[in-house]
């Protein structure tokens, strides 16, 4: 997809300081959108500067920061057309060792925050009768893997939220979809390798081959730019036919 299909549109992308979120912010800006880069990391300021966007720093596990993100966006641009709920993090450990505070934080960041941000942005989208909410779920929103109780639970829940919001948004021109990638080549995935090796008792060099790629038909990692391209498509006019979908980018994980 090329051109300026999103000229005049305002997009909010969470977790946009690096990885998939950064690529999404860059891609939407290239399509002409005015992009709000949201992240807990101050590194988001440089991303916003590079794409001509606006940076809002905050912790999406905090309700007040979710409210601030939408309020500041509305104060600056008067509306929101696109919301990409991308922020997230990983923790790998067996259930009996899974820290309760990390569970709480994972649910807050990857399930509660998308609900709150969608809720707060909803009136503007409803009034203008056009909106695109894109939730970055995961292949682990559709299938499970050991030692990822918090992540798998949050991502499964995010698909449920997606489907419910799609039913409510349809009459108002709001589409809501979840993208479910397999492993993407990001700093977040790279940081998992040592954790996976530790919990499974295998060498780090075997993690990508035997854990991350073994279930896939196509043996490679997904690039962040490929996810960003899919997001841009869903925001384009042809992408308007999709809503309530959990869209797999899984290299064949679920073909079995």
> Which residues are known catalytic residues?
151
Strand partners, 82: 11, 132
In degrees and rounded to multiples of 5, residue 239 shows phi and psi of: -75, -10
Integer Cα distance of 60 and 18 in angstroms: 15
Integer Cα distance of 140 and 145 in angstroms: 7
Strand partners, 166: none
Integer Cα distance of 119 and 168 in angstroms: 12
Closest CA to 169 of 181, 160, 180, 177: 177
Kindly calculate the radius of gyration of the chain based on its CA atoms and give it in whole angstroms. Answer: 17
Answer yes or no: are the C-beta atoms of 29 and 56 closer than 8 Å: no
**Residues recorded for the chain:** 256
Return the HEC string of 124-158.
Answer: HHHHHCCEEEEEECCHHHCCCCCCCHHHHHHHHHH
Read off the tokens for 129: 């009768």
Q: Specify the residue for token string 């509660």.
A: 112
């Amino acid at each position: 997809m090329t051109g300026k299909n999103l000229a005049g549109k305002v997009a909010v992308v969470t977790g946009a300081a690096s990885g998939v979120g950064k690529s999404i912010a860059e891609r939407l800006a290239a399509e002409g959108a005015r992009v709000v880069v949201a992240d807990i990391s101050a590194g988001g300021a440089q991303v916003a500067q590079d794409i001509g966007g606006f940076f809002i720093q905050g912790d999406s596990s905090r309700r007040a920061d979710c409210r601030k993100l939408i309020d500041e966006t509305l104060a600056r641009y008067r509306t929101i057309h696109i919301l990409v709920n991308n922020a997230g993090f990983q923790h790998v450990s067996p259930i009996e060792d899974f820290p309760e505070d990390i569970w709480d934080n994972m649910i807050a960041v990857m399930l509660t925050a998308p609900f709150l941000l969608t809720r707060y942005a909803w009136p503007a989208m409803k009034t203008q009768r056009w909106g695109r909410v894109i939730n970055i779920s995961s292949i682990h929103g559709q299938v499970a893997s050991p030692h990822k109780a918090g992540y798998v639970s949050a991502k499964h829940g995010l698909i449920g939220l997606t489907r419910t919001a799609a039913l409510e948004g349809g009459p108002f021109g709001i589409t809501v979809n979840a993208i479910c990638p397999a492993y993407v080549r990001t700093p977040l995935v790279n940081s998992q390798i040592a954790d996976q090796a530790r919990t499974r008792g295998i060498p780090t060099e075997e993690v990508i081959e035997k854990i991350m790629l073994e279930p896939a038909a196509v043996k490679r990692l997904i690039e962040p730019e490929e996810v960003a391209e899919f997001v841009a498509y869903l925001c384009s006019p042809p992408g308007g036919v999709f809503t309530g979908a959990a869209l797999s980018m899984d290299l064949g994980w679920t073909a079995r």
